[in-house]
Chains A and B, each alone.
Chain A
Amino acid sequence: MEHLELFFKSIFVDNMVFAYFLGMCSYLAVSKKVSTAVGLGAAVIFVLTVTVPLNWLLDQYILQEGALSWLGAEYAEYDLSFLSFILFIATIATMVQLVEIIVEKFSPSLYNSLGIFLPLIAVNCAILGGSLFMQSREIEGFSLALNYGFSSGIGWFLAIVAIAAIREKIRYSNVPAPLRGLGITFIITGLMAIGFMSFGGMLTGGDEEAPASEVRAAQIELPSGELEKENTASIEVVEVSEITQE
């Protein structure tokens, strides 16, 4: 149940692109054609699924306060969490390189379709963002971290494939000249994000008592001081649950 909830939450409610704008650079640059978008999306799913659990292990056994206690009692007080940026990004860059080499060796056809995107991915914010969110939300357990990496990858995949499909269609429409290309893509993404906000009620609608851990996670991820945001979000939730009741 916990797994299922995290799975759908990461895909729809906390969608990387629509809720946090992660990986926007490649999202905008590589979404001109559906086929390339599928390639990049698949590569992102793959790399996220590998790096998030790996960084979870790093976080649990090296970085967190007291994480080094497995080395001996005298190390129990170390808190290396300030090193997490540099370790996470090093893991990601290494993994991407490794994945590239392995894929090239064992599946040249996959490499040809995925290959050019792999170096791009090392600096894709969605990948580092996945690891950093995993850390700040204190995801418990290796399998949950694996699940989180995989499902946020799918969320990103859905987003880029959807926008690529829309951009292929919009080529035939009469967009005002200054908005063509980048401008209209931004606005469409905004509208899609509004659409995705309606998924916010998916996990709370009907089920009144949210588990304590989820409430805590929600508090962490909402930038504090944005009370209005929370209010409007809950209004949205109410509206959605009314609709489902009808």
Chain B
Amino acid sequence: MGLLSKKDRKLILDPLADDNPITIQVLGICSALAITAQLKPSIVMAVSVIFVLGVGNVVISLMRNIIPSKIRIIVQLIVVATLVIIVDQVLKAFAYSLSKELSVFIGLIITNCIIMGRFEAFALGNGPWRSFLDGVGNALGYGVILIIVGFFRELLGSGTLFGFKVLGDSVEKTGLYAIGYENNGFMVLPPMALIVVGIIIWVQRSRNKALIEEH
């Protein structure tokens, strides 16, 4: 990354771990959890958010001096909604079944708090290039959690990854299933997403004591 100065690199790398939008800033959980039963929708969601947040941050940053502060929320919402419509139409055109699977959750990127949070906290006060890096960094941090959750839920819940049967065939009893392994059907149910994220938070905070909360 010779292209980026040390400060810029921090913008991208910080949100991946110690300032993660989901586990530390508690933003954007709404649309994150419902679609993580499988890996593929999780990745599509992550990519969509990277696009929306990266571009949105640049747009808001370019307009930051002309937006009247009283109506900035509406302006921000319109910018996000436009970008999300683009994502939604692209998905509908090129991956229709996937877009049906994600159903309303693509639309809910609009109200994903990460996006408004970054607009408010960063893009309104910084130049376009730094805002872009910040947007991509935060969206990556969001995507990482999504992909970790999706990975475990699909692997343990259905025994597959991207639909490939990595643990063998559960019907014909090959691979791991031959020795009596069973899928944990619970993992594909919505509540387990919360519990998996809870465990990620647990692991992260026991590795980095500085993040522990006082009740």
Contacts and interface: CB of A to CB of B under 8 A. Distances in A.
- Do these two chains interact? yes
A182 B204 CA distance: 12
A118 B20 CA distance: 27
B208 to A, nearest CB: 9
B201 A183 contact: yes
A189 B197 CA distance: 11
Interface string A56-67: 000000000000
Nearest to A192: B191
B95 interface: no
Contacts of A229: 37, 188-189
Given A28-B26, A229-B188, A186 B77 contact: no
B193 interface: yes
B interface, how many residues as a size bin? 35 or more
Contacts, number: 181
B174 interface: no
A122 B158 contact: no
B183 A89 contact: no
A178 B205 contact: yes
Interface in A94-141: 119, 122-129, 132-133, 135-136
Contact of B101 (A125, A181, A225): A225
B34 A123 contact: no
A93 B206 CA distance: 40
Contacts of B31: 21, 125
Most A Cβ at <10 Å: residue of B88, B113, B186: B113
A217 interface: no
A197 B116 CA distance: 32
B73 interface: yes
A28 B27 CA distance: 9
B157 A228 contact: yes
Interface in B181-215: 183, 185-186, 188-195, 197-199, 201-206, 209, 211-215
Interface in B76-117: 77-78, 81-82, 84-85, 88-89, 97, 100-104, 107-108, 110-113, 116
Contact of A228 (B26, B102, B188, B201): B188
B23 interface: yes
Contacts of A245: none
B66 interface: no
B103 to A, nearest CB: 6
B35 interface: yes
Given A89-B81, A129-B104, A177-B206, 14 more contacts: A18-B191, A85-B85, A85-B88, A86-B78, A123-B111, A178-B204, A179-B198, A183-B201, A184-B198, A186-B201, A187-B194, A190-B193, A224-B97, A232-B189
